[in-house]
């Protein structure tokens, strides 16, 4: 019999939520081939290894954010080239969502540069969620911190996913953001989970963090009572004017290790190869897929920065024998 994805499928072990610090650090320290083998084996036990989910981003409210996240071009505190703009109207959003759907995206993620939305902000966002859902796409929003009531309102509107990243380890967090705490982030994630919205939560590699910080970020995610359904791993996009504009570049192999460890720790989650792909070679992206990444941001724009062209991504998928997740339409 020919080897196919199905015949190569290993048995799935039970999901774990009790990873120790030493165990996770030991994964990061494995010889690269051993780590990749563990990640591939885990990946194949839970997913078709040749299918990648496509999410398209749209910044529905740009800039003017009061927070001081050192990586972010949308903070009002940094002199970047981002011009603040109010919430986009329904037509603009639906045109972008239809375009994304027609290009093959199955999820539409709308971002807003808020610290936390006001209740009247939610009134503006809810019709956007309903409109995108009516197009047959999964919906995701990232609006900052939410209280329990706000999370419930979004759930009632039919929201599928809420993105809220921990970004880095609890220890390193204070070096990057001073205007809110790690616990604030965890509280929002608990509110989202309690409202039965799928959780999209990950972080950024390249902030100047140590391998232990990467390990502790992933351990924080993997020891939640339910793993986030989506785990975006972003490579820092170094934007001029932000405090991290000149941050040291991450070695590509170290980036791939982070993806692989995320895959081993959270076997049933979608691990997203997220921001930073314009700075990555096709070989590096192929390694990230081999390490268990099975989702990308798809479309020429992230929030305020560029993402690879759709045609380029499609050519890469063809070369690698990857198919996108089939859409509803």
CB of 275 to ligand SF4, least distance (A): 11
Return d(Cα 92, Cα 90) in angstroms, integer: 6
36 binds, among ligand SF4, ligand DTB, ligand SAM, none (CB under 5 to 8 A by kind): none
Are the C-beta atoms of residues 232 and 57 closer than 8 Å to each other? Answer: no
- CA within 13 Å, CB half, 236: 26
| Nearer residue to ligand SF4 within complex by CB, 142 or 220 | 142
x/- site string to ligand SAM, residues 15 to 54, per CB under 6 A?
----------------------------------------
75 binds, among ligand SF4, ligand DTB, ligand SAM, none (CB under 5 to 8 A by kind): ligand SF4
Q: Establish whether 201 is a catalytic residue.
A: no
Are the C-beta atoms of residues 287 and 247 closer than 8 Å to each other? Answer: no
Return d(Cα 2, Cα 92) in angstroms, integer: 48
CB of 237 to ligand DTB, least distance (A): 5
Instruction: Kindly tell me which residue out of 24, 52, 113, 262 binds ligand SF4, with binding defined by CB under 6 A.
Output: 113
| Nearer residue to ligand SAM within complex by CB, 165 or 230 | 165
Range in contact with ligand SAM (rule: CB under 6 A) among 100-108, 109-117, 251-259, 260-268: 109-117
Q: In 97-133, which positions are buried (b, 16+ CB within 10 angstroms) versus exposed (e)? A: beebbebbbbbbbbbbbbeebeeebbebbbebbebbb
CB of 133 to ligand SF4, least distance (A): 24
User: Cβ atoms within 10 A of the Cβ of 176, count?
Assistant: 19
Return d(Cα 68, Cα 177) in angstroms, integer: 6
Which of 193, 238, 263, 272 does the annotation list as catalytic?
272
x/- site string to ligand SAM, residues 234 to 263, per CB under 6 A?
x-xx-x------------------------
164 binds, among ligand DTB, ligand SAM, ligand SF4, none (CB under 5 to 8 A by kind): ligand SAM
Pairing of strands 198-200, 161-163: parallel
Range in contact with ligand DTB (rule: CB under 6 A) among 23-31, 176-184, 285-293, 299-307: 299-307
Scan residues 67-86 and list those touching ligand DTB (CB under 6 A).
73
Are the C-beta atoms of residues 105 and 112 closer than 8 Å to each other? Answer: no
CB of 272 to ligand DTB, least distance (A): 7
* SS3 label, residue 199: strand
Contact residues for 250 (Cβ-Cβ < 8 A; gap 6+): 205, 206, 235, 236
For 180, phi and psi rounded to 5 degrees? Answer: -155, 165
* SS3 label, residue 246: coil
Q: Which positions touch ligand SAM (CB under 6 A)?
A: 65, 71-72, 74, 111, 113-114, 142, 144, 164-165, 167, 204, 234, 236-237, 239, 275, 303
In the complex, which residues of this chain contact ligand DTB (CB under 6 A)?
Answer: 57, 73, 111, 142, 163, 165, 202, 232, 234, 237, 274-275, 302-305
């Amino acid at each position: 019999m020919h080897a196919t994805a199905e015949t190569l499928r290993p048995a799935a072990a039970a999901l774990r939520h009790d990873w120790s610090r030493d165990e996770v650090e030991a994964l990061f320290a494995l010889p690269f081939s051993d780590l990749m083998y563990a990640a591939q084996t885990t990946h194949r036990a839970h997913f078709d290894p040749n299918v990648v989910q496509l999410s398209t981003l749209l910044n529905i409210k740009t800039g003017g954010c009061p927070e001081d996240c050192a990586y972010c071009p949308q903070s009002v505190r940094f002199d970047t080239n981002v011009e603040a703009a109010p919430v986009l109207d329904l037509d603009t959003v639906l045109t972008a969502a239809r375009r994304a759907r027609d290009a093959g995206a199955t999820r539409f993620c709308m971002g807003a540069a808020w610290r936390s939305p006001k209740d009247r902000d939610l009134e503006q966002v809810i019709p956007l969620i309903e409109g995108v859902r009516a197009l047959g796409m999964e919906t995701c929003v990232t609006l900052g911190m939410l209280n329990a009531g706000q999370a419930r309102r979004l759930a009632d509107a039919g929201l599928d996913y809420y993105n809220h990243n921990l970004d880095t380890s609890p220890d390193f967090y204070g070096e990057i953001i001073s205007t809110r705490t790690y616990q604030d982030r965890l509280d929002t994630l608990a509110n989202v989970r309690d409202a039965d919205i799928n959780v999209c939560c990950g972080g950024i590699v390249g902030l100047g963090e140590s391998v232990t910080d990467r390990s502790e970020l992933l351990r924080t995610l993997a020891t939640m009572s339910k793993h986030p359904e989506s785990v975006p791993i972003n490579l820092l996009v170094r934007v001029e004017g932000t405090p991290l504009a000149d941050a040291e570049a991450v070695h590509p192999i170290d980036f791939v290790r982070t993806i692989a460890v995320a895959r081993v720790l959270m076997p049933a989650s979608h691990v997203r190869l997220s921001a930073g792909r314009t700075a990555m070679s096709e070989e590096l992206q192929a390694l990230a897929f081999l390490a268990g990444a099975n989702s990308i941001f798809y479309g020429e724009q992230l929030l305020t920065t560029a993402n690879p062209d759709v045609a380029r991504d499609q050519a890469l998928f063809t070369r690698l024998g990857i198919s996108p997740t089939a859409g509803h339409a």
